[in-house]
Amino acid sequence: MKQSLLRRFIQAVIVLLGVALMIFIMLRVVPGNPVATMMGEHADIDTIQRMTAELGLDQPIHVQFARYVLDALRGDFGTSYSMGKPVSQLMAAAFGNTLALAVAAALFAWVVGIACGIVAAVRKNGLLDHLFMGFSLLGVSMPVFMVAMLLQYVFAYHLHWLPISGVDSWKGYILPAIALGWNSAGSVARLVRSTLLDVLQQDYIDTARAKGRGQPGILVLHALRNAMLPVMTMMAMQLSSLLSGAVITETVFSINGIGRLAVQAISGRDIPLLQGTALFTTLVVVLGNLLADSLYAVLDPRIRREA
Amino acid sequence: MEPMTLRAVGLCAGIPTQKGEIRAVNDVSIDVPAGSIVGIVGESGCGKSMTARAIMGLMRSPARMTGGEIWLNGRDIARLPERQRRALRGSEMSMIFQEPMTSLNPVMKVGRQVAEAVRLHANVSRQEADRRAVEMFEAVGISDAASRARCYPHQLSGGLRQRVMIAMAMVCRPKLLIADEPTTALDVTVEAQILRLMRNLCDAGTSILLISHNLGVIAQLCDYVYVMYAGRIVEQAGVIKLFDHPAHPYTRGLLNAVSSLRRGGERLDTINGVVPNLLRLPEGCSFSLRCDACEARCAQEMPELREIAPGHKARCHLAEREAWS
Amino acid sequence: MAHRFANRSRRMARQAAFMLAALLFAAVLPCSAEAAEDGLLRAAILYDISTMDVAKTTDNYMIPMNVFDRLFETRMVDGTAQVVNSLCEDCSVSEDGLTYSFTLKDGVVFSNGSALTASDVQYSFERLLIAASENTDIPLEVVGGEALMNGEADALEGFNVKDDTHFSVTLNAPNAGFMAELSAPAMSIVDAETMAQVENFGSEPADTIGTGPYIVTEWVANDHYTLVANDRYWGEAPSVKKVIVRVIPDAGTQNLMFQNGELDIIDLQNLDSAIVESAYKPVYGDRIVSTPKVGLTYLTFNEKKDYLSDVNVRRAVGMAIDVDAIITGIYSGNAIREYGIIPTGIWAHNDALTGIEYDPEGAKALLREAGYAEGEISFELSMDSAADSNAQLVYQYISQFLDAVGIKANIKSYDHSAWINLRMSGEMDSFLARWGMDYNDPANIMFTFFGNERNTAQRSLNYPDAATMARVAAASAIVDDAGREAEYQALEQKIIGEDAAWFPLFEELHLYCLGERVAEFIPHWAGFSDFYAADVTLK
Contact B123 C1 (CB under 8 A): yes
Comparing CB atoms, the residue among C2, C50, C223 nearest residue A256 is C223
Are residues C335 and C220 both part of a single domain?
Answer: no
Query: Which residues, numbered 5 to 64 in chain C, qualify as contacts with chain B under a Cβ-Cβ cut-off of 8 Å?
Result: 6
**Is-contact C214 C231, C-beta < 8 A?**
no
Asked if the structure places residue C25 within a domain, the reply is: no
CB C190 within 8 A of CB C68: yes
**Pairing state of beta strands C502-514 and C288-292?**
antiparallel
| Encoded amino acid at C64, one letter | P
Cα dist from A208 to A219, A221, B96, C4, C33, whole Å: 10, 9, 11, 20, 55
Domains of chain B: 4-92+174-314 (3.40.50.300), 100-173 (no CATH)
- Chains A, B: CB contacts under 8 A, how many? 81
Q: Which of A20-34, A207-221, B222-236, C178-192 has the lowest mean pLDDT?
A: A20-34
Do C504 and C522 lie in a common domain? no
Side-chain-side CA neighbours of B52 within 13 Å: the count stands at: 30
**Percentage helix, strand, coil for chain C under 3-state DSSP, each rounded to 5:** 35, 20, 40
> Tens digit of pLDDT for each residue in C423-447?
989 999 999 999 988 888 899 899 9
In a domain, C133, yes or no: yes
Q: Which phi and psi (to 5°) does residue B15 adopt?
A: -125, 115
Burial class of residue A14, CB neighbours in 10 A (0-12, 13-18, 19+)? exposed
Are C271 and C377 in a shared domain?
no
Closest CA to C238 of C44, C520, C14: C520
Closest of C98, C153, C161 to residue C129, by C-alpha = C153
Specify the CATH number for the domain of residue C70.
Answer: 3.90.76.10
The pLDDT-based confidence of A289 (bands split at 50, 70, 90) is: confident
Assign A42 to helix, strand or coil.
coil
Contact A84 C203 (CB under 8 A): yes
Task: Give the side-chain half-sphere CA count within 13 A for C263.
Answer: 24
Rg of chain C (C-alpha set) = 27
Where helices occur in C191-264 by DSSP H, the ranges are 192-197, 251-259
Q: Which one of A42, A80, A154 would you mutate to disrupt binding with C, by most C Cβ within 10 Å of its Cβ?
A: A42
Amino acid at C405: V
| Interchain CB contact of C490 with B (< 8 Å) | no
Q: Are strands B37-41 and B207-212 parallel, antiparallel or unpaired?
A: parallel
Instruction: Identify whether C29 is part of a domain.
Output: no
C382-401 per-position pLDDT tens digit: 999 888 888 999 999 999 99
- Report how many domains make up chain C: 3
Q: Give the CATH number for residue C491.
A: 3.10.105.10
CA-nearest residue to B122 within chain C is C1
Partner residues linked to B226 by β-bridges: B40, B236
Q: Looking at C250-408, list the stretches that DSSP marks H as alpha helix, in order from N- to C-terminal side.
A: 251-259, 273-275, 281-284, 311-320, 323-331, 360-369, 389-404
Could you tell me the pLDDT band of residue B325, with boundaries at 50, 70 and 90?
A: very low
Is the pLDDT reported for residue A205 higher than 80? yes
pLDDT of residue C20: 54
Q: Which of A57, A61, A59, A35 is nearest to A48 (CA)?
A: A35
Look at residue C375 and tell me if it is in a domain.
Answer: yes
Beta-carbon pairs below 8 A across chains A and C: 141
Looking at the DSSP bridge assignments, the partners of residue C102 are C91, C167
Same domain, C91 and C234: no
Q: Is C145 within a domain? A: yes
Q: How far apart are CA B303 and CA A152, in angstroms?
A: 74
Question: Can you give the CATH number for the domain in which C529 is found?
Answer: 3.40.190.10
HSE (side-chain half, CA atoms, 13 Å) at A209? 20
Please tell me the least confidently modeled range out of A81-85, C380-384, C493-497: A81-85
The half-sphere exposure of A298 on its side-chain side, counting CA atoms within 13 A, is: 9
By a Cβ cutoff of 8 Å, what residues of chain A touch chain B?
201-204, 206-214, 221-222, 225-226, 229, 299-302, 305
Residue C4 at interface with chain B, using a CB cutoff of 8 Å: no
Residues in B whose CB is inside 8 Å of some CB of C read 83, 86-87, 120, 123
Distance from the Cα of B307 to chain A's closest Cα (Å) equals 34
Q: Taking the CB of residue B272, how many other CB atoms lie within 10 A of it?
A: 9
CB neighbour class for C356 (10 Å; exposed up to 12, middle 13-18, buried from 19): buried
Residues C365 and C503 in one domain: yes
Helices A203-210 and B158-170, axial angle in degrees (round to 10): 30
User: C149 pLDDT exceeds 60?
Assistant: yes
State the average pLDDT over residues A293-297: 76
Predicted confidence band of residue A161 (pLDDT cuts 50, 70, 90) = confident
Domain that holds residue C276: 34-49+212-291+511-538
Q: How many CB atoms lie within 10 A of CB B7?
A: 18
Cβ atoms of A292 and A228 within 8 Å: the answer is no
Is the bond into B62 cis (omega within 30 degrees of 0)? yes
Q: Indicate the Cα dihedral angle C306, C310, C316, C319, nearest 10°.
A: 110
Backbone angles phi, psi at C484, to 5 degrees: -65, -45
Chain C residues within 8 A of B86 when measuring between CB atoms: 2
Tell me the β-bridge partners of C167: C102, C161
> In the predicted model, is pLDDT for residue A296 greater than 80?
no
d(CA C436, CA C126): 25
pLDDT tens, position by position, B246-304: 888 889 888 888 776 666 656 666 777 777 777 777 788 888 888 887 888 888 888 88
Residue B76: CA atoms inside 13 Å, Cβ hemisphere, count?
Answer: 8
Tell me, yes or no, whether C176 and C320 share the same domain: no
**Cβ proximity of A38 and A47 under 8 Å:** no
Contact A279, A16 (CB under 8 A): yes
Nearest-CA residue of chain B relative to A200? B60
pLDDT value for A143: 83
Q: How confident is the model at residue B2 (pLDDT cuts 50, 70, 90)?
A: low
Closest Cα in chain B to A227: B107
Residue whose C-alpha is closest to residue C269's, from C185, C338, C343, C331: C331
Inter-chain CB proximity A208 and B120 less than 8 Å: no
pLDDT at C2 over 70: no
Q: Decide if C18 is inside a domain.
A: no
Query: For chain A, what percent of residues have pLDDT higher than 90?
Result: 9
Q: How far apart are CA A180 and CA A245, in angstroms?
A: 10
Chains in contact with A, where contact means 3 or more Cβ–Cβ distances below 8 Å, are B, C
The CA-based dihedral angle spanning residues C146, C150, C151, C153, taken in that order and rounded to the nearest 10 degrees: -20
Check whether A123 has a pLDDT greater than 90.
no
With CA atoms as reference, report the closest residue to A120 among A55, A193, A40: A193
CB contact under 8 A, C3 and B83: yes
Same domain, C345 and C490: yes
Determine, for residues B90 and A214 on separate chains, whether the beta-carbon distance falls below 8 Å: no
- Beta-carbon separation of B120 and A206 below 8 A: no
Around C399, how many Cα atoms within 13 Å sit in the side-chain half-sphere?
16
Q: Whole-angstrom Cα distance, residue A168 to residue A238?
A: 26
Report the DSSP beta bridge partners of residue B182.
none
3-state secondary structure of C91: strand
- Average pLDDT of the segment spanning A48-73: 79
Q: How far is C364 from chain A (nearest CA, A)?
A: 34
Tens of pLDDT along B64-78?
A: 888 888 998 888 888
End-to-end CA distance of chain C: 73
- The predicted pLDDT at position A41 comes to 62
Q: Are residues C284 and C298 in the same domain?
A: no
pTM for the predicted model, two decimal places: 0.77
Say if residues C191 and C210 touch (Cβ distance below 8 Å). yes
Look at A204 and B95 and tell me if their CB atoms are within 8 Å: no
Sign of the CA dihedral with B175 first, then B178, B182, and B184 last: positive
Name residues whose C-beta falls within 8 Å of residue B186's C-beta, 6 or more positions apart in sequence.
Answer: B100, B158, B159, B162, B194
Q: Same structural domain for residues C187 and C297?
A: no
Q: Which domains does chain A have, with CATH numbers?
A: 2-73 (no CATH), 88-306 (1.10.3720.10)
How big is chain A by its Cα radius of gyration, in Å? 24
Q: Are B34 and B4 in contact (CB under 8 A)?
A: yes
Q: CB A213 to CB B154 under 8 A?
A: no
Q: For residues C100 and C159, is the Cβ–Cβ distance under 8 A?
A: no
> pLDDT digit string (tens) for C11-57?
445 445 554 555 555 554 444 445 678 899 999 999 888 889 988 88
Residue A65, Cβ neighbours under 10 Å: how many? Answer: 16
Asked if residue C230 is part of any domain, the answer here is yes
**C182 falls within a domain:** yes
Q: Are A295 and A236 in contact (CB under 8 A)?
A: yes
CA B72 to chain centre: 16
C163/C250 same-domain check: no
Task: Name residue C297's beta-bridge partners.
Answer: C434, C506
Other beta carbons within 10 angstroms of residue A210's beta carbon come to 26
Same domain, C236 and C302: no
**CB distance B103 to B97 below 8 Å:** yes
**pLDDT band per the 50, 70, 90 thresholds, residue C464:** very high
Contact C256 A252 (CB under 8 A): no
In this structure, the answer to whether residues C279 and C407 fall within a common structural domain is: no
CA C393, C398, C402 angle in degrees (round to 5)? 150
Are C253 and A84 a contacting pair at CB < 8 A? no
Nearest chain C residue to B124 by CA distance is: C1
Give percent of chain C with pLDDT exceeding 70: 93
Classify residue A291 by burial, with Cβ atoms within 10 Å: 0-12, 13-18, 19+. middle
d(CA C209, CA C218): 13
The dihedrals phi and psi of B191, each to the nearest 5 degrees, come to: -55, -45
> How many other CB atoms are found less than 10 A from the CB of residue A197?
16
